[in-house]
Amino acid sequence: VSELRVDPITGRWVIFTPDHTRRSTDFTPPSPLRSDPASCPFCEGHEELTGNELLAWRPGGSERNRPGWHLRVVPNREPVLRVESHLGSDGALLFQRFGGLGAHEVIIESARHEDSWTTMTVEAVSRVLWAWRERMRDLKRDVRLKSFVVLKNHGALAGARLDHPHSQLLAMPFVPPQLAEELEGAERQFKAKAHCVFCEIVQQELQLNQRVIASDDRMLTLAPFASRLPFESWVVPREHAARFEDGPDELLEAAAKCIQDLLRRLDATLLQPPFNVALHSAPASPDVDALFHWHIEILPRLTRVSGLGWGSGVFVNPVPPEEAAQVLRDAL
C-alpha cells in the first residue's frame, strides 16, 4: 500500500511505496570518481591553480596562497554568480533579465586529497562549518546579497567533479526556490500557530521517537516525516535559531559532530553512498527571524529521481523515514 504524505513545512506531497520490490538496480552503486592528486587544483602545493584565497586556516602562520594550510576558501573558477556584477533589470515585464550578481566560492576542506568528512577529525569538520560561517558573515556586509546556500556534493553521482573534499558557497540577490518554499510554509504555519514549525517538529519528533536518528542536548538528527529520498536526513539545532551564521562556535562543533556521526551511519549501512549536503539559513530579512530555523539537509543519492520527480516535483520514495531512522540508529 502506498501512502501520501504532506510535508508540514512546504506542503509538498510525497508518495511512499514501502511494498514495492526493491531490486539491487534500484540503488546505484557508489561513485567511481577518481581524480588524480598530481593534477588536482585543490591539493597542497597547487595553490597557483586557484584564485587568490579569501580565507584560510594556517596553524603555523604560513604565507597566503602558499602551502602550510588545513583549509582554504577560494573563488569558484567557473562561478555562476559574481559580486562584481549588477542586479540591473532591463525592465521587460514578461521576460525580465537580471545581472548575475552574487558570490560563488569553494571551500577546500582539507589539504589531503583522500580525506572525507568521515575520516577527518571532528575538529576538521567543525573548521569547515567555521569557514562557511565566516564567509557568510563577510559576504553579508554586501546588502545586495539576500540569501546563502552552502552545498556539498560527495561522489560523481552526487554531482562532484573532483574527489578532493570541498563544498561550495553561493550568495544570491534573491531567495532560491527551495528556500522560498520552506519560508512560505514556515510563514503559513507561523500565522496559524504563532510559533516556529521547525521548533514544533523538533519537540514532536523527540517525543514520538520514531524518526530520530541521534540527538544530544544541542542538536537533533532525524529522518523527516515526508522524506523525498531514501535515507534523507536533517540535522537541526534544538533551540530556535533563524540563521546558521549567527551561531556560536559551540553550535558549529555540535553540528559537525552530528553530521559526522550521521555520515558514518550512512557509510556503515549503505557502503559509502554518494550524497549531497545543503545548508538552509534564513535570508537577510528581519521579518523571518521568529519563523525560520536553520538546518542542514543530507541527501544520499541512492536512487535515480524518477521522471515524475523531475517533471512534477512529486517524489516517490520506497523507504519510509521510520524504517530509515531505525536502520541508521542501529548502524553503529
CB of 113 to Zn ion, least distance (A): 3
CB of 50 to Zn ion, least distance (A): 11
Cα-Cα-Cα-Cα torsion 256, 261, 263, 268, nearest 10 degrees, comes to 160
CB of 257 to Zn ion, least distance (A): 20
Strand 219-222 to 212-215 pairing: antiparallel
Q: Which is nearer to Zn ion, 16 or 198 (CB)?
A: 198
Q: Which is nearer to Zn ion, 115 or 322 (CB)?
A: 115
For 207-243, the DSSP string reads HH-SSEEEE-SSEEEE--TT-SSTT-EEEEESS--S-
CB of 331 to Zn ion, least distance (A): 28
**Residue 66: count of CB within 10 angstroms of its CB:** 14
CB of 326 to Zn ion, least distance (A): 26
CB of 307 to Zn ion, least distance (A): 35
CB of 166 to Zn ion, least distance (A): 9
Q: Which is nearer to Zn ion, 243 or 265 (CB)?
A: 243
Strand 295-300 to 233-237 pairing: antiparallel
**Is 213:236 a contact under the CB 8 Å cutoff?**
no
Q: Which is nearer to Zn ion, 86 or 161 (CB)?
A: 161
Place of cell 530556535: 240
CB of 15 to Zn ion, least distance (A): 28
DSSP 3-state of 299: strand
CB of 40 to Zn ion, least distance (A): 3
| φ, ψ of residue 26 in degrees (nearest 5) | -70, -20
For 50-98, the DSSP string reads S---SEEE-TT-PPTTSS--SEEEEE-SS-SSBTTS---B---SSS--B
**Is 12:226 a contact under the CB 8 Å cutoff?**
yes
Q: Which is nearer to Zn ion, 159 or 313 (CB)?
A: 159
Separation between Cα atoms, residue 47 and residue 55, nearest integer Å: 13
Q: How many CA atoms lie within 13 A of 199 on its CB side?
A: 14
Q: Which is nearer to Zn ion, 35 or 269 (CB)?
A: 35
Q: Which is nearer to Zn ion, 288 or 319 (CB)?
A: 288
Report the candidate in 210, 207, 216, 211 with the shortest Cα–Cα distance to residue 239.
216
Q: Which residues bind Zn ion (CB under 5 A)?
A: 37, 40, 42-43, 113, 164, 196, 198-199, 240, 293
Q: Which is nearer to Zn ion, 43 or 129 (CB)?
A: 43
Separation between Cα atoms, residue 267 and residue 193, nearest integer Å: 39
**Is 198:295 a contact under the CB 8 Å cutoff?**
yes
Q: Which is nearer to Zn ion, 106 or 270 (CB)?
A: 106
